[in-house]
Amino acid sequence: MSERFCLDGKAVLITGASRGVGAAIAVEAAARGAMVTCTARSTTAAPKRIPGTINETVDAITQAGGRAIAIPADLTSPDDIERMVAQSVEQWGRLDVVINNAAVTFVGDVDIDLKRHDLIMAINLQAPLLTVRAALPHLKAAGRGRIVSLSSQAALRPVPGLMSYGMSKLALERMTTDLARQFHPDRIAVNCFRIDIPVASEGTLANLGDVDLSDWEPTSVPAEGVLWMVEQPDDYSGYCESMWALRHREGIMESRAEKEFAKKPPLLFLQGLHDIDTENAFAKDARKAGE
* Residues facing residue 241 across a β-bridge: 193
DSSP-assigned letter for residue 94: -
Q: What is the spatial distance between Cα 259 and Cα 213, in angstroms, rounded to a whole number?
A: 9
Is 165 known to be catalytic? yes
3-state secondary structure of 19: coil
Q: What is the spatial distance between Cα 19 and Cα 28, in angstroms, rounded to a whole number?
A: 13
Please name which of 265, 82, 241 lies closest in space to residue 148, comparing C-alpha atoms: 241
| Paired sense of beta strands 240-242 and 35-40, if any | unpaired
Catalytic residue among 92, 106, 165, 216: 165
**Are residues 226 and 251 in contact, defined by beta-carbon separation less than 8 angstroms?**
no
Query: How many angstroms separate the Cα of 288 from the Cα of each of 47, 153, 199?
Result: 24, 18, 17
- Tell me, what amino acid is at 46? A
Q: Work out the number of other CB atoms within 10 angstroms of the CB of residue 220.
A: 16
Please name which of 55, 46, 64 lies closest in space to residue 23, comparing C-alpha atoms: 55
Give catalytic residue positions: 165
